[in-house]
Structure formats: structure tokens, C-alpha cells
């Protein structure tokens, strides 16, 4: 049951698709502040809090203060309060169980036992929000009700479930050709290569650097023939440059964000000075979305939207002010005070909060200062693309994921988890963040495997891939200036080939589970506590996840570790894999285990009476034979698997032909009900 309470005059964010009438009575569960709008709750010692999507720290979010304030911050450190997203949905599970969604586009603080251990306090910067309170028979039920309310999650094309290689940046055709060749030569599967900002002509959106890519459509085609998709990045800022059509059109049509005086707001990002398209204005959004056609027409079938918090290296006005103030330092004897003044002056240039008060949107017909709707910008940039794709390619899925997001954006694209670091603790963060993203409908997601910033190591890359093979977005990405981390650059290339190969082997399961999660408003990744609510210990487990219907993963995330402790909420079948075919199997009892896991070993745990449909792999998704499945399973009585499969491009999701019901009986008989004929082999 969902109840909606309105405070002040909220702005319509379009987060909610299935509208609900607002209640007039008292808000249940929560105290509501008398003077300042604030929502409070008293926890008992065992209360846990789930949610908040993209954030630092644990699966249980209790014990910290989080602030929804989309931020371009590449240091995902423990003490950070904000990352790139605003995912204002939490579930409180303790003496009471309920979900809370705050539909509010401004800054929102979640003090979850930070100031005082048992006190929850949620405070918006200003009045004007819709609060949804969701009760349900279980955590999963609450998530499902919420997800249904906010609409179906984005579905990526099937090829985007393959392995992607990225780097900031592959500078030209030949570099990309080499990356592809090295993978193909070594037999490492690969489906996509990502193009970071340098593919553009001086960072101008929807342009191609013609020196580096002289015949781009031909190059796109050349790679497609090898089953490789090129995925270019699109930035939020449009370069100010005479003769650049996107800029000129935007100015002419008045589609850019304005200063208070009505002139176009000038910030700077990669291209230098830019205007921001007013993504909150439907006309501007439509116009910007149509621009993706320039690349679609050249054969591109996927994009990632970046810098859309929006990041601001500097605003023109503020930088002018800074340089004016620097004049004061001229000829001075620089003492410590002056030096500190200098430091705070220059340290405050990027992503300055005041800059977010310098520009305005046209939003629902009104002029709204940016900071009041800040968290909607990235969402609406991706919505611009998503709505345009729907119009331009009504029958074809286009890959789309974003850096910044708000609840609602999950309908138009996924996210990657931004500029993480080559830290072991960020592998753990990746694990912990996946279920909370699924809670807000973001299913197509994953981290930069191996870490974006800082230098990676071979073992970190290997361990990270062993988890990464389960994330729908499965991409190796790294920053300029860091150690190159394409897996063929390391020593044990065979191990990498085998681990990535396991992903391709698991694809029938991963794709099927993803699609069912999307179509049924469910979670692909779940903490143990969600599936085993009666198991007190399951609630403590912060480093194992359930993936789809039948699998549990317990990744190794510590350097030099040769294994780890694993908690089994029930008897499970452990399958250790050095490759798709080199496997060992062991039944483990419910309870605690220490499991040896070699550096090059991937371990999965299969739930009783479940089978995992697997393929024999392939060098790309297109090569994977979904028609011939091995059923890797743990069948005590009978296992029934509902397989979803389709052509991977189309949108006729409701077509029942996509489903096959596979039944494995105790004696090993396999029967399949569905229109598609497949061959099955059984490994139980």
C-alpha cells in the first residue's frame, strides 16, 4: 500500500508514472517537524536501513549522513555525503517496516543515525515535496510496489551485456583497431569499445574528430563486422563556438540555461566555455535528443551521457571574479594568511555551489533557479535521449547510460557508478551498491572494472572481473595517466580470457534474469536479507549477493587473499570455475564456511531446486548460442526455470513467445514448454 503526502507546492519531477491521490491525514511512522520541514523516526538497535541508490558505505545505510546533491566528485571516499545521483528512496526494517520516497528535486539530507545513533532525520533544503510511504509484506514487496509506481526500467540491447573495453581515451581508429585485435587474437570475448571525449572535434557534442576518424561510418561498420559496437560519450555542455550548429541553434531557439538577466549562462567544461541545454524545458529537451540522430545515422547504437550533474570546471563570471581578486595579491609579500586566502580562492573554482545559483531553467512554464531543481538535470539529459530514441527508433533498443541520475531516469537508461578508483575497497563498494541501485529501478549498471582513477594491479583487475561478470554493464574503464588496464596487457591473459568467457557462458541466465527483473519490477541483485528475512544472520551479510533467481555470489575483494568466509543461508551447491568448462562442484551445508578461492577462480553458489541455463560461450554476444543450453543446477526434487530470451534488439517484450519454462525432474528429465526449440544438456 502506497500513501502520498504533499508538503508545500512540490514541483512535478515525473519520477512517478502511476499517480496516486494524496492523503490528508497524519503521516504514519514519521514525525514531521513543526518549524522546519523535517521527517524523523526513532530506531531500535536492530533497525536497518536500505536504499539511497548510488552512495558510499554499506548495504545497510545506517550510521551516516547522506545528502542528495548530484556531484561530480571522483573521490568516492567513506566520508563523502554525495555522489552523482539523488535516489531518495529508503526502506526502514526494524520494529516496523516501511518504505519512504521523497520526490524532491533539491538538496535533501538523510541523517540515518549519524548525529544520534537511533535517530533518523530527513531534511529538505526547502518546502515543497511529495512523500510516499509504502507498506508491504516484505522488503521485496515494498520495492516492487515502488518500482511499479515509477515505471518500467530501461532495457539495454543484448549486445550491451557483452564485455566492453574503455579508456579515456582511445585517440584514433588505429588505437581502437589494436584494442579489438588484441582481444580477438587472445580469444578474449569483446562486444564494445567505448569512445571517451577525445573522439569529438574539440569536445563538441555530436561531432567527430575527422583527423582521428576520417571515415567514421565506415569505421563503425568495419567494427560491427567484427561484432564490436562503438559507444561514444556525450557531455552535458555545448561548446560556444561560432559556426558550430548545435551551439548556434541552441542560442537562436533560446534552449540554453539562462542567467538571471536572460543571457545564456556560461560555464566551462572539457570544450572550454559552454552553454547548458535546458534539459528541463520540454522543447529544449526534444531538440537536444534529436541531435543523437547525427550519430545514429553513422551507425552508432549506444551512448553514455557524462558530466550531467552538471559538472562545472568554472563559470565565466566566477572565474573573472577570482582573477580580479588575484590582482590584490600582485606585488604583495605573500604571508600565510594571504596564501590561505589564495588557496581558498583557487580551490573553490570547480563545482562551486554558488555557480548552481547563477542559472535558470524554464520548468513547467516557470523560471526556476537551478539549485532548486539541481538533481533533475542528468535525469532529463538522459530522458532527452531516451524520448528521442523512442521516436527515432521505436522498434530498436539503443544503449544508454548516464553518470548523474534521479529516480525516474531508470526508464530511459542505466548508470555507470562514475569515476571510482583502483581500490580494493571500491570493488567492495561496487558489490554493495548494486542492490540499492536496483531498488530505484536502475538495473543496467556496473562500475568501472579495475578502477577508473589510480593505478590498478593484475590481481585487482582479476578479482574485480570475477564480480563484474555478473553486472549487466560489464566494462573495463580507466583514466588518462593511469596504468593501462586492457586485460591483454597483463601476464595471465588466459585467466582473464577464461573469466570473461564465464560471463558469456552465463549470458542466457544473466540476460533472462535481467529481463524478468525489468519486466516484473523486481531486483536482479539482492542482499541476502531480502530473500531470507527470517534469517537473522543473513541481515548481517554485506559482501554476498543474490543474483537473479538461483545464484549467490561471494566475491573476493582483498589483495593477496586466497579465499574468504562465506555464509550460506541454506544448503547450496558451490561451483568453482577456472573456465566455463573447468569446474568443480561441492554441496555445502547451511552456515559458515571458509572457502579457498584461487586468484583466477570464479565461484558461484546455486540454490536448491534451481538450474542456471548456460551457453558454451563465444567471442561476442552474437556468437553465443542461446539455442543450446547447459543446465547447471542443484536439483533435489524438481527445478523449474522460466527462461526469457528474445532477439536482443526489439521491444516486443510482452510477447509470450520469449518465455520457455524448463523443468528438470529429480531423475534428470528435462522438459521445456515454449515456442522456441532448444537443446538442453544437464549438469547437476
Active site residue 141: no
How far is 525 from 523, CA to CA, in rounded Å? 5
Active site residue 245: no
Q: Which residues contact 526 (CB under 8 A, 6 or more apart)?
A: 140, 435, 438, 545, 546, 547
Q: Which is nearer to a second copy, 242 or 395 (CB)?
A: 242
Closest distance to a second copy from the beta carbon of 361 (Å):
25
Bridge partner list, 305: 234, 402
Chain position carrying cell 563503425: 220
Using DSSP, how many helices (H) and how many strands (E) does the chain show? 13, 41
Closest distance to a second copy from the beta carbon of 536 (Å):
9
Q: Which three cell numbers stand for residue 485?
A: 588496464
Taking the CA atoms of residue 431, residue 433, residue 439 and residue 444 in that order, the dihedral angle to the nearest 10 degrees is -80
The residue among 85, 84, 76 whose CA lies nearest residue 57 is 76
Please pick, among 419, 458, 459, 466, the residue that the annotation labels catalytic.
Answer: 419
Q: Which is nearer to a second copy, 23 or 455 (CB)?
A: 455
Chain position carrying cell 561560432: 242
In 228-334, alpha helices (H) = 245-253, 282-291, 293-296, 316-326
How far is 478 from 587, CA to CA, in rounded Å? 39
Q: Which is nearer to a second copy, 116 or 683 (CB)?
A: 116
Q: Which is nearer to a second copy, 388 or 433 (CB)?
A: 433
Closest distance to a second copy from the beta carbon of 478 (Å):
13
Please pick, among 309, 448, 549, 630, the residue that the annotation labels catalytic.
Answer: 309
Closest distance to a second copy from the beta carbon of 214 (Å):
25
Q: Which three cell numbers stand for residue 57?
A: 558505505
Q: Which is nearer to a second copy, 46 or 661 (CB)?
A: 46
How far is 496 from 516, CA to CA, in rounded Å? 29
Residue 361 DSSP one-character state: E
Q: Which is nearer to a second copy, 121 or 382 (CB)?
A: 121
Please pick, among 235, 278, 301, 306, the residue that the annotation labels catalytic.
Answer: 306
Question: Mapping DSSP to helix (H, G, I), strand (E, B) and coil, where does residue 317 land?
Answer: helix
Q: Which three cell numbers stand for residue 124?
A: 529538505
Q: Which residues contact 431 (CB under 8 A, 6 or more apart)?
A: 467, 543, 545, 555, 557
Closest distance to a second copy from the beta carbon of 248 (Å):
20
Active site residue 191: no
Closest distance to a second copy from the beta carbon of 124 (Å):
21
Q: Which is nearer to a second copy, 421 or 621 (CB)?
A: 421
Where along the sequence are the contacts to a second copy (CB under 8 A)?
48, 57-58, 60, 62-65, 77-79, 114, 116-117, 268, 270-273, 313-314, 319-320, 323, 326-327, 329-330, 334-337, 339, 342-343, 346, 421-425, 453-455, 457-459, 491-492, 540, 542, 558-563, 565, 592, 594
Closest distance to a second copy from the beta carbon of 16 (Å):
31
How far is 204 from 653, CA to CA, in rounded Å? 36
How far is 164 from 500, CA to CA, in rounded Å? 11
Closest distance to a second copy from the beta carbon of 78 (Å):
4
Give the strands of the sheet with 525-526, arranged side by side.
525-526, 545-547, 551-553, 602-606, 572-577, 583-588
What own/partner pairs with CB < 8 Å and gap ≥ 24 does 392-397 have? 392/290, 392/292, 392/293, 392/296, 393/296, 394/651, 395/650, 395/651, 396/157, 396/301, 396/649, 396/650, 396/651, 397/155, 397/156, 397/157, 397/648, 397/649, 397/650, 397/651
Q: Which is nearer to a second copy, 24 or 560 (CB)?
A: 560
Residues annotated catalytic, as ranges: 306, 309, 419
Amino acid at each position: 500500500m502506497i500513501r502520498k503526502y504533499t508538503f508545500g507546492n512540490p514541483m512535478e519531477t515525473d519520477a512517478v508514472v502511476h499517480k496516486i491521490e494524496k492523503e490528508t491525514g497524519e503521516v504514519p511512522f514519521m514525525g514531521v517537524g513543526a518549524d522546519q520541514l523535517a521527517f524523523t523516526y526513532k530506531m531500535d538497535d536492530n533497525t536497518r536501513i536500505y536504499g539511497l541508490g548510488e552512495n558510499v558505505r554499506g548495504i545497510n545505510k545506517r550510521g551516516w549522513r547522506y545528502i542528495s546533491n548530484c556531484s561530480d566528485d571522483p573521490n568516492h571516499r567513506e566520508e563523502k555525503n554525495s555522489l552523482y545521483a539523488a535516489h531518495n528512496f529508503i526502506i526502514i526494517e526494524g520494529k516496523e517496516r516501511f518504505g519512504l520516497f521523497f520526490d524532491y528535486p533539491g538538496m535533501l539530507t538523510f541523517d540515518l543515525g549519524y548525529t544520534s545513533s537511533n535517530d533518523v532525520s530527513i531534511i529538505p533544503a526547502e518546502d515543497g515535496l511529495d512523500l510516499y510511504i509504502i507498506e508491504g509484506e516484505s522488503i521485496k514487496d515494498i520495492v516492487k510496489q515502488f518500482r511499479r509506481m515509477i515505471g518500467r526500467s530501461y532495457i539495454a540491447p543484448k549486445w550491451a551485456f557483452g564485455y566492453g573495453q574503455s579508456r579515456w581515451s582511445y585517440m584514433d581508429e588505429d588505437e581502437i583497431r589494436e584494442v579489438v585485435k588484441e582481444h580477438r587474437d587472445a580469444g578474449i570475448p569483446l562486444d564494445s569499445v567505448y569512445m571517451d571525449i577525445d573522439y569529438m572535434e574539440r569536445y563538441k557534442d555530436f561531432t567527430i574528430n575527422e583527423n582521428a576518424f576520417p571515415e567514421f561510418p565506415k569505421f563503425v561498420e568495419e567494427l560491427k563486422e567484427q561484432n564490436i559496437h562503438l559507444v561514444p560519450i556525450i557531455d552535458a555542455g555545448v561548446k560556444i563556438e561560432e559556426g558550430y550548429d548545435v551551439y548556434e541553434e541552441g542560442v537562436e531557439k533560446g534552449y540554453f540555461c539562462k542567467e538571471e538577466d536572460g543571457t545564456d549562462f556560461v560555464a566551462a567544461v572539457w570544450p572550454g566555455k559552454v552553454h547548458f541545454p535546458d534539459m528541463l524545458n520540454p522543447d529544449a529537451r526534444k531538440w537536444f535528443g534529436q541531435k543523437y540522430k547525427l550519430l545514429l545515422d553513422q551507425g552508432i547504437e549506444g551512448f553514455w551521457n557524462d558530466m550531467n550533474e552538471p559538472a562545472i570546471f568554472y563559470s565565466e563570471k566566477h572565474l573573472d571574479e577570482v582573477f580580479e581578486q588575484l590582482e590584490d595579491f600582485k606585488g604583495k609579500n605573500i604571508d600565510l594568511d594571504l596564501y590561505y586566502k589564495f588557496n581558498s580562492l583557487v580551490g573553490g573554482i570547480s563545482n562551486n555551489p554558488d555557480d548552481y545559483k547563477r542559472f535558470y531553467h524554464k520548468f513547467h512554464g516557470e523560471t526556476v533557479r537551478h539549485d532548486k531543481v539541481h538533481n533533475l538535470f542528468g535525469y532529463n539529459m538522459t530522458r532527452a535521449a531516451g524520448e528521442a530514441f523512442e521516436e527515432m527508433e521505436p522498434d530498436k533498443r539503443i544503449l544508454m547510460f548516464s553518470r548523474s541520475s534521479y529516480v525516474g531516469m531508470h526508464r530511459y537508461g542505466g548508470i555507470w557508478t562514475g569515476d571510482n578508483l583502483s581500490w580494493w575497497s571500491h570493488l567492495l563498494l561496487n558489490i554493495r551498491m548494486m542492490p540499492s541501485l536496483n531498488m530505484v529501478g536502475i538495473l543496467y549498471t556496473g562500475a568501472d572494472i579495475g578502477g577508473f582513477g589510480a593505478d590498478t594491479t593484475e590481481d585487482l583487475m582479476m578479482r574485480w572481473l570475477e564480480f563484474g561478470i555478473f553486472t549487466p554493464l560489464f566494462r573495463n574503464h580507466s583514466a588518462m595517466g593511469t596504468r593501462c588496464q586492457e586485460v591483454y596487457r597483463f601476464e595471465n591473459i588466459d585467466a582473464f580470457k577464461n573469466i570473461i568467457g564465464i560471463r558469456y557462458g552465463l549470458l542466457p541466465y544473466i540476460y533472462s534474469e535481467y529481463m524478468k527483473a525489468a519486466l516484473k519490477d523486481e531486483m536482479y541483485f539482492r542482499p541476502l536479507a531480502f530473500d531470507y528475512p527470517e534469517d537473522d544472520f543473513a541481515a548481517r551479510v554485506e559482501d554476498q549477493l543474490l543474483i537473479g533467481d538461483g545464484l549467490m555470489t561471494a566475491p573476493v575483494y582483498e589483495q593477496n587473499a586466497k579465499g574468504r568466509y562465506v555464509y550460506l543461508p541454506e544448503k547450496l551447491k558451490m561451483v568453482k570455475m577456472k573456465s566455463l568448462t573447468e569446474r568443480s562442484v561441492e554441496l555445502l551445508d547451511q552456515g559458515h564456511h571458509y572457502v579457498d578461492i584461487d586468484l583466477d577462480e570464479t565461484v558461484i553458489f546455486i540454490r536448491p531446486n534451481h538450474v542456471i541455463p548456460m551457453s558454451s560461450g563465444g567471442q561476442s554476444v552474437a556468437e553465443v548460442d542461446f539455442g543450446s543450453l547447459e543446465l547447471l543446477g542443484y536439483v533435489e526434487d524438481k527445478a523449474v526455470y522460466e527462461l526469457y530470451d528474445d532477439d536482443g534488439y526489439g521491444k516486443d517484450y510482452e510477447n509470450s513467445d520469449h518465455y520457455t519454462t524448463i523443468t528438470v525432474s529429480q531423475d534428470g528429465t528435462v522438459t521445456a514448454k515454449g515456442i522456441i526449440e532448444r537443446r538442453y544438456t544437464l549438469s547437476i
